[in-house]
Amino acid sequence: MFKLAIDVGGTHTDALVFDGNQGLLEFKTDTTPQDLRIGVFKACEKIAEHYGVSLKELLERIESIIHATTVSTNAVIQRKGAPVGMITTAGFADVVELRRGRRDTGLNVRVEFPRPLVPRYLRLEVKERMSHEGKIVTALDEESVRKAMEKLDREKIQSLAVAFLHSHLNPVHEKKAAAIIAQEWPDVEISLSCDVLPQIGEFERFSTTVLDAYVAPLVRSYLISLDERLRSDGFKGRLLIAQSNGGVATPEAVAQRPIWTIGSGPCGGPVSALYYARSVLNTRNVIATDAGGTSFDVTLIANGEIGTTTDDWVADQRIAIPMTRIHSVGAGGGSIGWIDSLGVLRVGPQSAGASPGPACYAKGGEEPTLTDAALLLGYVNPDYFLSGERRLEVTRATKAIEQRIAKPLRKSAVEAAEAIFRVSVANMSSAIREKVTREGYDAREFCLVAGGGAGPLVAAPIAQELAIRDVLVPNVASCMAAFGWLRSDIQYDFSHSMMIITVADPAQVDLEKITRLYEEMESDAVRMLKLQKERFDIYRSVEMRYDGQFRESEIPMPRKRLTARDLASVIQSFHKRHVELYTFSMPDRPVELINYRIKIVMETSKPKLEKRPVKTQPAKNMVKGSRNCFFLGRFHKTTIYDGNKLKPGHKIAGPAIVELAATTLVLPPGFKSTVDKLNGFHVQRR
């Protein structure tokens, strides 16, 4: 039986097959933006072809497909979601347009205003009001709901966001409004803010709810048609969908909360990076990176924890569900080098993408990219890019770099190429440094795992820049996310705010109320996900802060009837956590309990990479040849290794290039590498 992960990226759709006999097999097809399903089935056909079976025969043998799709993310970025309406509390229809009055472009004032996903004339107010304690101040005027809905129906909305003030404390009005609409307008899909994100803070909650409504129809129809097509082609296994929290979910669960898929794309990467680092180096402190064509994603994993954040944006829209804490910057193989008006060389954030692609693709691209630079420097083999699937044209790369960079800087083409390479490395290093320090850590205490097609090109110089000792380049580097999804558990996150509780003395707190909230959250979740007959684990946590602070930290809570002693020990953990994060704590200061969270986890069976015996040996026989590569201002004669033939224990010394199926590992002078027991590369300074 097979397990299959299909990860749709901006450029490629990666399919990774785990087959009991052969281990992992990787397939890449072009992503088909007009209908992502086409690419998915093309990938399946490619796999079937490899095994010499029909698509039906293949699908029959697959026990599970884990699918990461960008259908929701793209809908937001390209503004191609459903026509959405919104119903909200009288006086507050503009919350999503007021955006808390913030912009972060500083002195650049010539910026277009990001229009809300639901235009103002489709945001209608109804009479109702809750107090800040969740008490009804004005009862819901049901007629005003009907009147609003009649208008929205005339405007042919397909999806509706219902978001009332303080509904996280008392959802009865939202639920009542939804019930009326569901009964009288059964075709409209509804997202309630008290379901999507029952947390304090109307801008974040309303915006997240609108996003959910905006992508819901698309996600639902995508999943239904994908599932139907798979089933009719013989698939009898389980389909699971990737979420932005790094876990996977059943299609039924995702249909309930389509927003869980937004931004899920890169979230599988950190899962595989952590697995890899633990298996090879037995470390749980990892900087997971993924450098693709357009973006460079950084995730900090401290002590084995892949953190999530609720403080994020998708395109220009605020989203506040827990998302894997990935820091993305516009830097990758397709990033374009340019000279700004200061005469300073910059690389990115613009990318040539897959089309037209780097100049060397000869698909009409004329801008010099990082890939073009790597080609000129001799790092990339023009005849063995993606195992030779795409031939690269050196002359076009040279021309682009000469004209756009070398001439204005009065440098030779190869010097200009090195400058592009160096600036890219600096951009990526800055992204890592900022990410790591923002979380209060020191990069030197982490191991760097380099994924993505461009990751292994830049891994060693980045490590040097940041004084990182250990770099791992997994053998699945070019499809890190897909491998991560193969190892992800089913995982659902829920959160809820109550009135803020300030704790000076744990014995004075209404602990029953907290216990009750957790129990209700759990039973609601089980009902919604139809888990009554399933086996699962539940983890509780609470987001807390010092009285007066504005940023919370998440602390685990025991899953039991809460006692004062339990709460005291939770608070102790918070003090400790605060020291870890911010170097100090304030043990005498009261704390505030803000959001209560539960996480439901159902473990999946996880493929393991085969650990192979390590036999220390020189890698002489695996040499493909040599060529001149440019390092540190001059050409060096550089050995080229065939990555597919290297075995655990093989040792390589830089300067060296290892050509792998879908990427290239660059070892500058001063670096060495050993093939690790999972057949990846452990890179260190000599």
Partner 1 sequence: MEKKIEPGLLSVIWNYLVTTAREMSNVLVRASTSVITAELMDHFVGIYDARGGMVAAHTVLPPIMGIGRFQVRDIVEKYRKDIHPGDVFIFNCPYTAHGTHLPDWSFAAPIFFQNELLLFSFSKGHQLDTSGAFPGGYFSGAYDIHAEGLCIPPIKLYSKGRLQKDLWDLLMNNVRFRQEQEMDIKTMIAALKTCEERCLSLFRKYGKKTVKTYIDHMYDVMEKSAKEEIRRIPDGTYSGESAADDDGSPQRYGVPVWVRCNVEVKGTRIKVDFSGSDPQVNFINSPWSNTHCYSCISIFTTFGPELALYHNEGSFRPIEVTAPERTVVNPRYPATVGACPVNVGTQIMFSVLQALGKARPERVIAGGVGNFHFAEWGVDRKGRRYFAGTFNGEGGTGAVCGHDGWPHLGPDSCFGALRKGNVEVIESRHPWIVRDYRLRTDSAGAGKWRGGLGVHVEWISDTELEHAIVTGPSDKITTRSYAVAGGEVQPPNEQYIIRARNREKEIVYGKRGPFFLEKGDIFIQNSGGGAGWGRAMERDPEAVRSDVLNGYISLRSAQEIYRVILDPETLTIDQEATQKLRGGA
Interface positions with partner 1 (CB under 8 A): 90-95, 97-113, 119-121, 131-132, 165-166, 168, 200-204, 340-346, 409, 411, 418-419, 422-423, 426-427, 430, 433-434, 437-438, 499-500, 502, 546, 548-551, 581-584, 586
Nearer to partner 1, 278 or 422 (CB): 422
User: Which distant-in-sequence residues (6+ apart) come within 8 Å of 389 by Cβ?
Assistant: none
CA distance 141 to 150: 15
Nearer to partner 1, 101 or 613 (CB): 101
343: alpha, beta or left? (left if phi > 0; alpha if psi -120 to 50): left
CB of 306 to partner 1, least distance (A): 20
CB of 169 to partner 1, least distance (A): 9
Question: What is the DSSP secondary-structure string of 214-263?
Answer: HHHHHHHHHHHHHHHHHHHTT--SEEEEE-TTS-EE-HHHHHH-GGGGTT
User: Which distant-in-sequence residues (6+ apart) come within 8 Å of 116 by Cβ?
Assistant: 96, 97, 123, 210
Residue 533 has phi, psi (to 5 degrees) of: -105, 10
What is the greatest pairwise CA distance in the chain?
81
- Residue recorded with tokens 């992503």: 31
CA dihedral of 95, 96, 98, 100, whole degrees rounded to 10? 90
Q: 334 vs 34, 292, 420, 664, CA distance in Å?
A: 21, 8, 12, 15
In this structure, what token pair is assigned to residue 412? Answer: 């030779």
CB of 499 to partner 1, least distance (A): 7
Nearer to partner 1, 550 or 637 (CB): 550
Nearer to partner 1, 44 or 466 (CB): 466
CA distance 10 to 33: 8
Nearer to partner 1, 63 or 153 (CB): 153
Query: Alpha-carbon torsion 132, 134, 136, 139, what sign?
Result: positive
Q: Quick one: DSSP state of residue 369? A: B
Nearer to partner 1, 166 or 682 (CB): 166
CB of 92 to partner 1, least distance (A): 6
CB of 102 to partner 1, least distance (A): 4
CB of 452 to partner 1, least distance (A): 21
Indicate the burial class of 625 (C-beta count within 10 angstroms; 0-12, 13-18, 19 or more). Answer: exposed
CB of 447 to partner 1, least distance (A): 20
Using alpha carbons only, how large is the chain's radius of gyration in Å? 26
CA distance 491 to 539: 11
Q: In this structure, are residues 450 and 660 in contact, taking their beta carbons and an 8 Å threshold?
A: no
Q: In this structure, are residues 60 and 1 in contact, taking their beta carbons and an 8 Å threshold?
A: no
Secondary structure of residue 424 in the 3-state scheme: helix
User: Which distant-in-sequence residues (6+ apart) come within 8 Å of 265 by Cβ?
Assistant: 7, 8, 9, 68, 70, 73, 242, 481
CB of 548 to partner 1, least distance (A): 4
Nearer to partner 1, 513 or 560 (CB): 513
Nearer to partner 1, 313 or 582 (CB): 582
Amino acid occupying residue 599: K
- Report the b/e string of 634-655 with b at 16+ CB within 10 A: eebebbbbbbeebebbbebebb
Nearer to partner 1, 238 or 346 (CB): 346
CB of 112 to partner 1, least distance (A): 5
CA distance 124 to 176: 16
CB of 344 to partner 1, least distance (A): 6
Nearer to partner 1, 438 or 513 (CB): 438
Nearer to partner 1, 263 or 337 (CB): 337
Residue 403 has phi, psi (to 5 degrees) of: -70, -45
CA distance 361 to 11: 14
CB of 173 to partner 1, least distance (A): 15
CB of 168 to partner 1, least distance (A): 8
Nearer to partner 1, 34 or 111 (CB): 111
CB of 137 to partner 1, least distance (A): 8
Q: What share of the chain is helix, strand, coil (3-state, %, to 5)?
A: 35, 30, 35
Nearer to partner 1, 103 or 651 (CB): 103
Nearer to partner 1, 437 or 644 (CB): 437
CB of 165 to partner 1, least distance (A): 7
